[in-house]
Amino acid sequence: MIPLPMLRSCLALLLVAAVAATLSGATAPDTVSFTRQSDRVRIEIGGKHFSDYLHHGWPKPCLYPILDADGTSYTRDYPFKKNPAEVPDHDWHRGVWFAHGLVNGHDLWREIPEKKTGRIVLDSLLETRNGPTGLLRARSRWLTADGQPLLTDETTLRISRHPAGTFLDYEIKLLATHGAVTLGDTEEGTMAVRVNETLRVTHGKNKDKRPGTGRLVNANGDSGIPAWGKRASWADYSGPLPDGRVIGIALLEHPQNPRHPTWWHARDYGLLSANPFGQHDFEKLKDQPKAGDLVIPAGGELLLRYRLIFHRGDEKTARIADLFRAYAAQP
């Protein structure tokens, strides 16, 4: 008899292969390669630039840009470079990143000088491995504004390109290496991407707000502004580029994460963020300000897993629901 974990793994691989083949036909996978530089790790797929893992020069590590094989960009350029088509808001929304806004009372999400926000500092690059599925492992320290350690994270990235899209898997292990850690209840977090400006659901603010051409939808069908604060297994941003091509970004949460399905800090202006700790903020629990708090005991750890899929077409064309089922079946 085949062991259950092995059977689940085989079924997951078969489902991914079936969905990918249906979408575009089977092709040989491109090699993902890494080049270490002083302030970043350059990531290429099939010899073409995919992204940079930026680990120095910014208050926290992130991935930017996110590029398709033809150079199409999935993420906003600001604050890395000026783009007249973009609104320069939320300086801390950079590419793809992981952070949280309330860690033992300290904000490591926003970067507001007068608030004395904390930093996430690379400790070491543990491993990079080239192949059809590229792997990058890094260890970082989460620090208060005055440099006191809060916790350690070990992040593993797995990157692969398929006919269905480019997969970016995040596995984040939060280690309570300096005493107990409370991940506090706040909407400000956690696994996030700031999408290409053309995908926005709305443009402008307040009285100047106007509809955009982008689409934000979650696994339950909540779309646009009402998707904020809802719980769902995945959420997707898509929309047309100026040349008419439609691209999208799906963020999937693994069902083994605590509190699955996660709440979503998903904004109409281009932020897509999964946050399992913001229950009070998202559900407006006025008398329960710490409802979403999660405590990692001293010496303990918390494992979180997510998959981003950078795809063509909207969530239906890309069959994100099927791809989530394949991801969920992985042990």
Digit-coded pLDDT (tens) for 127-186: 999 999 999 999 999 999 999 999 999 999 999 999 999 999 999 999 999 999 999 999
pTM: 0.92
In a domain, 226, yes or no: yes
**Contact partners, residue 290, CB within 8 Å, separation at least 6:** 184, 185, 280
Domain assignment present for residue 206? The answer is yes
| pLDDT of amino acid 20 | 47
18 CB contacts (<8 Å, ≥6 apart)? none
Q: Is there a domain that residue 136 lies in? A: yes
**How many angstroms separate the CA atoms of 281 and 290, rounded?**
9
**Cα distances (Å, whole numbers) of residue 9 to 5, 115, 205:** 6, 46, 46
Domain count, the chain: 1
- Residue 108 near residue 120, CB atoms below 8 Å: yes
Is 30 inside a domain boundary? yes
Domain of residue 123, residue span: 4-34+77-328
In a domain, 40, yes or no: no
pLDDT at 16: 54
Low-confidence ranges of the chain (pLDDT < 70): 1-27
Residues constituting the chain = 331
Collapse the DSSP code of 19 into the 3-class scheme (helix H, G, I; strand E, B; otherwise coil) and give the result. helix
pLDDT of 115 reads 81
Written as one string, the DSSP assignment of 23-77 is HH---PPPPEEEEE-SSEEEEEETTEEEEEEE-SSSSS-EE---B-TT--B-B--
Domain assignment present for residue 71? The answer is: no
Q: Is residue 303 part of a domain?
A: yes
Residue 49, domain member (yes or no):
no
**In the chain, what are the helix, strand and coil shares in percent, each to the nearest 5?**
15, 40, 45
Helix (H, G, I), strand (E, B) or coil at 326: helix
